[in-house]
A and B are shown apart, each in its own frame.
Chain A
Amino acid sequence: MESTNFVWDLMGRNLGGVLIVISLPLFFVLLYALIAILAELKISAWIQERLGPMRTGPWGILQPVAEVIKLLQKEDITPDQSSKLLYNLAPFIIFTGAYAAFAVIPFSEAFVPADINLGLFYVFAIGSISAMGIVMGGWASNNKYSLMGAMRSVSQLISYEIPAAMAILSVVVLASSMNMQEISRAQGGGFWNWYIFGGPGTWTKIWVVPFTFGLTIIYFIASLAETNRVPFDIPEGESELVAGFHTEYSGMKFAMFFFAEYANMFVVAAVLTTIFLGGWNSPFGDFMQGPWWGSFWFILKSFVVVLFQIWIRWTLPRFRVDQLMYVGWKVLLPLSFVCFMAISLFVMLK
Chain B
Amino acid sequence: MDLITIAFYFFAALVLGFGGVVVLSKNIMHTAFALLFTFFGVAGLYVLLYADFLAITQIMIYIGGILVLIIFGVMLTTRITGVDVKSGKIGKFQLGGAIVFTSLMAITLVVVFSQTNWYQAEAPAPDSTAELIGVSLLTNYLLAFEVASVLLLVAIVGAAFIARKKHS
List residues of A whose CB falls within 8 A of some B CB: 15, 18, 83, 86, 93, 116-118, 121-122, 124-129, 131-132, 135-136, 139, 142, 147, 151, 154, 158, 161, 178
Tell me which residues across on chain B come within 8 A of A161, comparing CB atoms: 64
**Contact in complex: B68, A117 (CB < 8 Å):** no
Chain B residues, CB < 8 A from A83: 27, 29-30
Give the complex CA separation of A186 and B118 in angstroms.
43
Q: Which one, A15, A118, A135, contacts B53 given CB within 8 A?
A: A118
Q: Is the CB of A139 within 8 A of B63?
A: no
B158 to chain A, nearest CB (A): 17
For residue A85, give the distance in angstroms from its CB to the closest CB of chain B: 8
Q: A139 and B29: CB pair below 8 A?
A: yes
Q: Across the two chains, which residue of chain B brings its CB closest to A150?
A: B75
* CB pair B52 A139 closer than 8 Å: no
The 29 listed contacts between A and B (C-beta, < 8 Å) are A15-B3, A83-B27, A83-B29, A86-B30, A86-B33, A93-B36, A116-B52, A118-B52, A118-B53, A118-B128, A121-B56, A121-B60, A121-B130, A122-B56, A124-B60, A125-B57, A126-B59, A128-B59, A128-B60, A128-B68, A129-B40, A129-B63, A131-B64, A132-B36, A132-B63, A139-B29, A147-B80, A154-B72, A158-B68
Q: Determine if B122 is an interface residue (Cβ-Cβ < 8 Å).
A: no
In the docked arrangement, what's the CA distance between A83 and B29, Å? Answer: 10
State in angstroms the CA–CA spacing of A135 and B81 once bound together.
Answer: 14
* B67 CB-CB contact with A under 8 Å: yes
Closest to B80 in A: A147
Cβ contact within 8 Å between B52 and A18: no
Query: Of A18, A117, A125, which contacts B59 at CB under 8 A?
Result: A125
**B71 contacts the other chain (Cβ, under 8 Å)?**
yes
Q: Which residues of B contact A116 (CB under 8 A)?
A: 52
* Per-residue contact bits, chain B 1-40, to A (CB 8 Å; 1 contact, 0 not): 0010000000000000000000000010110010010001
Most B Cβ at <10 Å: residue of A117, A122, A154 = A117
Q: Determine which of A86, A93, A132 lies in contact with B67 in the assembled complex, contact meaning CB atoms within 8 Å.
A: A132
Give the secondary structure class of B's interface. helix
Check: B127 CB closer than 8 A to any chain A CB. yes
Per-position contact with A for B49-66: 1 when CB-CB < 8 Å, else 0? 000110011011001110
Chain B's nearest CB lies how many Å from the CB of A128? 3
Q: Let me know if B3 and A151 touch, CB within 8 A.
A: no
- CB neighbours (8 Å) of B57 from chain A are 125
- A97 nearest CB neighbor, chain B only: B63
CB < 8 Å neighbour of B130 from A18, A127, A136, A178: A178
Q: A132 touching B68 by the CB < 8 A rule? A: yes
**Max chain A Cβ within 10 angstroms of own Cβ: one of B27, B40, B52, B71:** B71
- Minimum C-beta distance from B7 to chain A (A): 11
Contact B3 A118 (CB under 8 A): no
Complex contact B56–A136 (CB within 8 A): no
The answer, among B30, B60, B75, B130, for a CB contact under 8 Å with A147, is: B75
* Distance between Cα atoms of A115 and B60 in the complex (Å): 19
Measured CB to CB, the closest approach of chain B to A65, in angstroms, equals 34
Q: What is the bound-complex CA distance between A205 and B63, given in angstroms?
A: 38
Q: Is the CB of A125 within 8 A of B64?
A: yes
B30 neighbours in A (Cβ, 8 Å): 83, 86
Whether the Cβ atoms of A125 and B33 lie closer than 8 Å is: no
Chain A neighbourhood of B56, CB < 8 A: 118, 121-122, 125
